[in-house]
Amino acid sequence: MGEPISADVLVVGSGASGLAAALSAERAGARVALAAKASLQSCNSAKAQGGIQAAFGADDSPEQHAEDVWRSSHETANMELVRVLTSEAPGTIHWLEGHGVEFTRSNGGYRLARCGGSSRERLLQVGDRTGLAITSALRGAVEASSALTLPKSPLAELGQTRGGWRARCGEHLVEAGAVVLAAGGRCYREAEERGELTTNHPGATGEVTQIALLLGAEARDLDALQYHPNGGAWPETMQGYSIPETTRAYGAVLLNAEREEFTDSLGPRDVVSQAIFDEVEQGRGVESPDGRPAVWLDTTRISPDDAAVSLPYMLRRYRAGGIDPLAEPILTYPVLHYQNGGLTTDEHGETTVEGLFACGEIAGGTHGRNRMMGNSLLECCVFGRRTGKAAAERAKG
């Protein structure tokens, strides 16, 4: 291990929140080092398919968006954070466009969809690979910036020094004035321990949260893990795949073994997931060919035109497995997906430990105990930008 690397801001994590924080900190004049557990491309954000929310509709507003978040969280979200999230959403979309993200458009405006828990059409998409489009654009901007990137350098140790922080990231020692933790959640590890399927990348194992807790950082709602209502149940190649919730936005509905609707298919995620669990428990579900529990998602109700624009990746994957979702319903069952809670932060992303910041899935409060779809990528970008700027100011101040 050589001489320590000196930086104003160390960012831990290369998903959307870490990339946004690194760009924001650098723009604020900070010397930035970004450490990733594996390659820079390895993250959950790139797997996010459904889209990103922002109030652009004529009948919509940031206030209505905030009300939907509050209701979907069952009145557990931190409304100070929610108001930041929704008020800065439109500007964040334009910021992403400035980095080259091209959202799907229709009739001269954004192609907006209504997603689960939402009262308005508010979901912007890049086909069904929105997370990949966002992380690719932001990663390209980071790689073109002055930020130092440290791939395959997982955070192993973190401690305070007189002037800030010292971290061991893989084979590197990094000294920094402030640290931004953007390392995501722990659902891959949780799924392994429970013997369940998960949508998560293998890197989502939660060590960085534990490091922060040992340093004295406070957390909230860490027990509140979210199931994605529509995990792929068959064919085997789709098990653990998160079927885009835009399938339901464009007309797909959930059906039991008798082909009857049993829940509001556009309800909040936890409500829809629980309805599926209950239907199966009460003997009205179906079994996949390999014996897994499931219900039907009737995707035949989606128009081919909508599917071609908003679900091309899903169609390719299912058709490669011998199933055409536009010709026959597909089997689905909830799959472990997201860590709702996390480290407690203020509106600038600072944890309860001075100089230690957090953004993205590792942070708690914005979603309360249940997250609306389309708000994770938004949270990553809104609070990644805020947190990077605040960390730079802390380090330089």
pLDDT in tens, 171-205: 999 999 999 999 999 999 999 999 999 999 999 99
Query: Is-contact 322 281, C-beta < 8 A?
Result: no
Better pLDDT: 66 or 2: 66
Q: What is the mean pLDDT of residues 262-271?
A: 95
Identify whether 186 is a catalytic site residue: no
Query: Is-contact 372 53, C-beta < 8 A?
Result: yes
Question: What are the pLDDT digits (tens) for 77-91?
Answer: 999 999 999 999 999
Name the pLDDT band for 250 (thresholds 50, 70, 90).
very high
Q: What DSSP string runs through 189-216?
A: HHHHHHT--B-S-TT---HHHHHHHHTT
The amino acid at residue 86 is T
The whole-angstrom separation of Cα 86 and Cα 53 is 9
pLDDT at 107: 86
Who contacts 182 (Cβ-Cβ below 8 Å, separation ≥6)?
A: 11, 12, 13, 15, 17, 18, 21, 358, 359, 360, 362, 380, 384, 387
Name the pLDDT band for 3 (thresholds 50, 70, 90).
confident
The whole-angstrom separation of Cα 59 and Cα 387 is 31
Burial of 222 (0-12, 13-18, 19+ CB in 10 A): middle
- On the question of pLDDT at 2 being above 80, the answer is no
- On the question of pLDDT at 163 being above 90, the answer is no
- On the question of pLDDT at 388 being above 70, the answer is yes
Q: What is the mean pLDDT of residues 209-229?
A: 98
Q: Which string of b and e fits 170-205 if b means at least 16 CB within 10 Å? A: bebbbbbbbbbbbbbbbbbbbbeeeeebbbbbebbb
| 372: phi then psi, degrees, rounded to nearest 5 | -75, 145
pLDDT at 25: 98
Per DSSP, what are the bridge partners of residue 5? 174
% of the chain at pLDDT higher than 70: 100
N- to C-terminal Cα separation, the chain: 30
pLDDT, the chain, mean: 97
Tokens 């390999």 map to which residue?
290
pTM (two decimals): 0.96
Half-sphere exposure of 132 (CA within 13 A, CB side): 7
Who contacts 20 (Cβ-Cβ below 8 Å, separation ≥6)?
A: 138, 359, 380, 381, 384, 385, 388
The whole-angstrom separation of Cα 233 and Cα 133 is 26
The whole-angstrom separation of Cα 365 and Cα 184 is 14
> E strands, the chain, where?
5-12, 32-35, 52-53, 105-106, 109-110, 123-124, 148-150, 155-161, 164-169, 172-181, 219-220, 225-232, 253-255, 286-287, 293-298, 330-339, 342-344, 356-358, 363-364
Name the pLDDT band for 397 (thresholds 50, 70, 90).
confident
Q: Which of 186, 269, 369, 371 is catalytic?
A: 269
pLDDT at 181: 99
Q: Which of 337, 341, 315 is nearest to 326 (CA)?
A: 315
- On the question of pLDDT at 1 being above 70, the answer is no
Q: Which of 144, 165, 164 is nearest to 155 (CA)?
A: 165
Domains of the chain: 5-187+340-396 (3.50.50.60), 228-336 (3.90.700.10)
Beta carbons within 10 angstroms of residue 308's beta carbon = 13
% of the chain at pLDDT higher than 90: 96
The whole-angstrom separation of Cα 55 and Cα 67 is 12
Name the pLDDT band for 23 (thresholds 50, 70, 90).
very high
